[in-house]
Structure 1
């Protein structure tokens, strides 16, 4: 599988979100709000937790755990990119600032 460039991931994520916005307008007459996007992310993050329990043998989920977990992990990253974009936060700057700050905190 090819490695994803972060800039490309952001661009592709934005295009996918716009396609979902089109579906939302068709089915509901309006786009989801940022709050609805955040709730959808939290729902998927919760599923990551449950699927992790299944992958670790702590929750009986079935034989499709790994593909579902991979999908939800990818989807969670996608949601974070979309939430940052919708709130005018540069996700790359936010990640860099977090990594730098945390590395400094943990340096000995």
Structure 2
């Protein structure tokens, strides 16, 4: 069991959220120069779903059922991190406090699972 106090865990998510938005601001500068505008919310969502789908192919590659060029483990680390980045970016655009939402959701799921476990016979 993780003994890290919850406020430290949330602080880590806050820092990750801030870093993600710093990187997004750099992308926006490039988009503004190249496109004359920044990506719309649907374009951001499409970017996320494309990267998330590619994670599926990388998992297949890690299981040797799909071939890719390059280092599968490095690509998986990169794409999983990028998907996390997208979540923070999308949450920001949708006015969702992702660190708070994550903490509340994990608490709710954990509590529900604990109640389920308590109602099950021990094996």
Structure 2 length normalisation: TM-score?
Answer: 0.80
In structure 2, stretches of 5+ residues that fail to align are 1-10, 119-123
2:95 is the alignment partner of 1:88: yes
The structure with higher relative contact order (CA 8 Å, sep 6+) is 2
Q: What corresponds to 1:47 in structure 2?
A: 54
Task: Quote how far apart the aligned CAs of 1:62 are.
Answer: 3.5
Please say which structure displays the higher CA radius of gyration: 2
Q: Distance in 1 between matches of 2:111 and 2:14?
A: 26
Moved over 3 A (4+): none
Q: Distance in 2 between matches of 1:94 and 1:39?
A: 22
Q: What corresponds to 1:26 in structure 2?
A: 33
Q: Distance in 2 between matches of 1:61 and 1:7?
A: 34
Q: Distance in 2 between matches of 1:22 and 1:62?
A: 31
Q: Deviations over 1:75-108 (max 9, x none)?
A: 0000001111111100011111211111122112
In structure 1, stretches of 5+ residues that fail to align are none
Q: What corresponds to 2:113 in structure 1?
A: 106
Q: Distance in 2 between matches of 1:47 and 1:9?
A: 22
